[in-house]
């Protein structure tokens, strides 16, 4: 096996569906200008002026996305994008924070954000995995929020982006969702593979709010299937043809990275690609 380590150098949008073939458009607005210090690395994708209205806050409800003071991207080579629904509420990339702390990536959101390094690419059959540690479960939110691995990233940062992610919650649930191409920068096309998510005994549960919880998450692409494993156990497997299709992924080949829901605080270690 050949191991390529990606040196340190998400609930996502609200879609009401339990069917793996559901595709829903979630309205938003182009992202606005930066706030806080200029981000390092690749920086943010092109962004326009923020507009209010036009969408729902991702998993908003009682805890709408906060703003992280001094936010931005502080991991060399990395960049990211907030969801269109977040941008509709005036959120921008620099309202979340990605920083490199030794061998770890530390993520603090803010708005729901997907992060990637364009140099981290996978093709063919592969596994991408990482360990996510939420040192203080629910320290920044009133209910569990997910984080996890993103794969199959194509045209990232544009309305035509597509990617899949598998994320875990500190309450024992997991979710598999993705973004498909959209006709407008103001709209995210979200598809769901397991509805709003569900429980699995493999997913670790925090002892309670403020307590630590760790999840090892891996997404494996095979010739005809895509599977998500959490803490060493496969929790979901899907035919590749159900994922690579119109309105969903363009391909499972592409950039890989990490996905965080809004108002989360966790570290990522051991992000790696195995062929």
pLDDT in the model for residue 3: 47
Residue 234 lies in a domain: yes
Residue 123 lies in a domain: yes
Structure tokens at 234: 């496969």
Structure tokens at 217: 């998450």
Residues 6+ away with beta carbon under 8 Å from 243? 152, 164, 178, 193, 226, 249, 252
Please choose, from the candidates 205, 202, 232, 203, the residue with its C-alpha nearest in 3D space to the C-alpha of residue 220: 232
**Residue 192 sits in a domain of what CATH number?**
2.60.120.560
pLDDT in the model for residue 61: 53
100 within 8 A of 74, measured Cβ to Cβ: yes
Residue 9 lies in a domain: yes
Structure tokens at 73: 């991207």
CB atoms within 10 A of CB 239: 12
What is the domain range of residue 100? 3-44+65-274
When divided into structural domains, the chain yields a total of 1
Three-state secondary structure string covering 97-134: EEEEECCEEEEEECCCEEEEEEEEEECCCEEEEEEEEE
**DSSP secondary structure letter of residue 205:** B
Residue 141 lies in a domain: yes
Please choose, from the candidates 188, 269, 275, the residue with its C-alpha nearest in 3D space to the C-alpha of residue 7: 269
**DSSP secondary structure letter of residue 84:** H
**Tens of each residue's pLDDT in the chain, 275 residues:** 444 444 443 333 333 333 444 445 444 433 333 333 333 333 333 232 222 222 233 344 568 999 999 999 999 999 999 999 999 999 999 999 999 999 999 999 999 999 999 999 999 999 999 999 999 999 999 999 999 999 999 999 999 999 999 999 999 999 999 999 999 989 999 999 999 999 999 999 999 999 999 999 999 999 999 999 999 999 999 999 999 999 999 999 999 999 999 999 999 999 999 99
Distances from the Cα of 7 to the Cα of 133, 199, 216, 255, angstroms = 17, 31, 17, 14
Residue 35 lies in a domain: yes
**Rounded Cα gap, residues 139 and 133, in angstroms:** 13
pLDDT in the model for residue 22: 42
Residue 153 lies in a domain: yes
pLDDT in the model for residue 55: 28
Residue 30 lies in a domain: yes
Residue 106 lies in a domain: yes
């Amino acid at each position: 096996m050949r191991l390529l380590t990606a040196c340190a150098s998400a609930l996502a949008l609200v879609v009401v569906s339990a069917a793996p073939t559901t595709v829903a458009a979630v309205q938003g607005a182009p992202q606005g200008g930066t706030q806080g210090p200029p981000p390092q690395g690749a920086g943010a994708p092109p962004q326009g002026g923020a507009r209010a209205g036009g969408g729902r806050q991702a998993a908003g409800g009682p805890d709408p996305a906060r703003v992280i003071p001094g936010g931005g991207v502080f991991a060399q080579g990395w960049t990211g994008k907030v969801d269109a629904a977040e941008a509709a509420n005036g959120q921008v990339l620099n309202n979340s924070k990605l920083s490199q702390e030794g061998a770890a990536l530390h993520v603090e959101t803010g708005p729901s954000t997907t992060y990637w390094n364009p140099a981290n690419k996978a093709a063919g059959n592969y596994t991408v995995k990482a360990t996510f540690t939420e040192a203080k479960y629910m320290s920044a939110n009133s209910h569990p929020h997910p984080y996890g691995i993103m794969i199959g990233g194509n045209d990232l940062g544009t309305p035509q982006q597509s990617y899949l992610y598998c994320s875990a919650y500190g309450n024992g649930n997991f979710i598999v969702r993705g973004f498909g191409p959209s006709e407008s920068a103001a709209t995210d096309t979200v598809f769901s593979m397991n509805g709003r998510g569900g429980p699995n005994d493999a997913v670790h549960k925090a002892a309670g709010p403020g307590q630590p919880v760790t999840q090892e998450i891996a997404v494996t692409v095979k010739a005809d299937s895509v599977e998500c494993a959490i803490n060493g156990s496969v929790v979901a497997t899907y035919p590749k043809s159900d994922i690579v299709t119109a309105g969903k992924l363009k391909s499972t080949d592409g950039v890989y990275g990490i996905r965080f829901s809004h108002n989360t605080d966790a570290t990522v270690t051991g992000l790696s690609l195995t062929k």
